[in-house]
Amino acid sequence: MAEHLLSTAVHRTMPGNYVRPEAQRPRLAEVVSGAPIPVVDLACPDRAAAVAAIGAACRSHGFFQVLNHGIDDGLIAEVMAVAREFFRLPAEEKAKLYSDDPARKIRLSTSFNVRKETVHNWRDYLRLHCHPLDQFVPDWPSNPPDFKETISRYCREVRALGFRLYAAISESLGLEASYMEETLGEQEQHMAVNFYPPCPEPELTYGLPAHTDPNALTILLMDQDVAGLQVLHAGRWVAVNPRPGALIVNIGDQLQALSNGEYRSVWHRAVVNSDRERLSVASFLCPCNDVVLGPARKLVTEETPAVYRSYTYDEYYKKFWSRNLDQEHCLELFRT
């Protein structure tokens, strides 16, 4: 199975099954490179100001950067190093983890959903379930030797950060600070360690095409040296260039639903380049599968009726994975 992985070889020509039709290509020359993505300093002594800044970012961009997030710079460096080391393992070692089954909780795969796609994406990724850790860590990769310990520490830290952000997001909507955490139930936590090798013709393909995230909240650790994330804002693709030490936060589909459409789960994509490999680590906080989701009652009035019907996360997630990544926003299927 290792032959399916991009990271097992150097690619000097572009395989035809990665080439997008001309109308679907990224048009890299049209991307806005200098537009700022909102930045929130979590060490701001004025909590009300920080909460307001988070709310404004959720309305305007659906993305923001967080500084002074509390996760040690040394740990972040270790995570990136051990992730890079994993993708440099011999092909036969990586082949032990390969699967194209989206239902597998721990798997190394390529593209997005190779069972359904007609055109592939220039990405390998390691998908991990991360909560509860004691249930999943034994099945994580044993190589590199420090992988389990390093990634476990990061998972604990990023989960705590996510719950801090839930409180601020709840308050920014005029809800109790505990609303999001309580409403979403005993949340699952997933991770995607993404590896984008150098691509011989990056203008013909994507690392990941335009999509929204089906979960509640995503916290992204980006490669500080190689850009690739782009966000759709005001009808144009904007390159995200992270501040040193920042993590990128984006609103997922479930927070858009809970906010009754006030906050935005926006389209974003990953592009590739011909010179350098790129790495990112995405952490996803996901509602409990059987929890019933829909707009917060406090946000539904005669003037602002419910935009979305009630549903379970299990129903939503199955619908999301039954479709192509770049189809219409999955939430459109759950409108009232």
Q: What CATH code is carried by the domain that includes residue 187?
A: 2.60.120.330
- The mean per-residue pLDDT over the stretch 46-51 comes to 97
Q: How many CA atoms lie within 13 A of 220 on its CB side?
A: 27
8 Å CB contact between 245 and 187? no
Q: State pLDDT tens for residues 301-315.
A: 999 999 999 999 999
Q: What are the angstrom distances between the C-alpha of 59 and each of 26, 159, 184, 293?
A: 25, 23, 20, 20
Asked whether residue 140 is assigned to any structural domain, the reply reads yes
Asked whether residue 3 is assigned to any structural domain, the reply reads no
Q: What percent of the chain has pLDDT over 70?
A: 99
Total tally of structural domains belonging to the chain = 1
- The mean per-residue pLDDT over the stretch 65-84 comes to 98
The whole-number pLDDT of residue 326 equals: 67
| pLDDT over threshold 80, residue 53 | yes
Range of weakest confidence among 8-12, 48-52, 143-147: 8-12
Q: State pLDDT tens for residues 99-143.
A: 988 888 999 999 987 777 889 999 999 999 999 999 999 999 999
* pTM score of the predicted model: 0.96
The whole-number pLDDT of residue 102 equals: 81
Asked whether residue 304 is assigned to any structural domain, the reply reads yes
**For residue 245, what are its two tokens?**
């030490």
Asked whether residue 271 is assigned to any structural domain, the reply reads yes
Asked whether residue 132 is assigned to any structural domain, the reply reads yes
The whole-number pLDDT of residue 120 equals: 94
Asked whether residue 7 is assigned to any structural domain, the reply reads no
The whole-number pLDDT of residue 284 equals: 98
- The mean per-residue pLDDT over the stretch 264-273 comes to 97
Asked whether residue 6 is assigned to any structural domain, the reply reads no
Q: What are the angstrom distances between the C-alpha of 336 and each of 216, 233, 295?
A: 20, 26, 11
| pLDDT over threshold 60, residue 1 | no
Q: Which domain holds residue 279?
A: 14-332
Asked whether residue 2 is assigned to any structural domain, the reply reads no
Range of weakest confidence among 22-26, 67-71, 76-80, 319-323: 319-323
Q: State pLDDT tens for residues 150-197.
A: 999 999 999 999 999 999 999 999 999 999 999 999 999 999 999 999
Residue 294 backbone zone (phi > 0: left; psi -120 to 50: alpha; other: beta): left
List of long-range contacts for 15-23, beta carbons under 8 Å, 24+ apart: 17/119, 17/120, 18/119, 18/120, 18/121, 18/122, 18/204, 18/205, 19/119, 19/201, 19/204, 19/205, 20/119, 20/204, 20/205, 20/206, 21/119
The whole-number pLDDT of residue 2 equals: 62
Strand order of the β-sheet with 217-222 is 39-41, 63-67, 247-251, 217-222, 278-286, 188-196, 124-129, 106-110
In the numeric block, the tokens 């993590």 are attached to 247
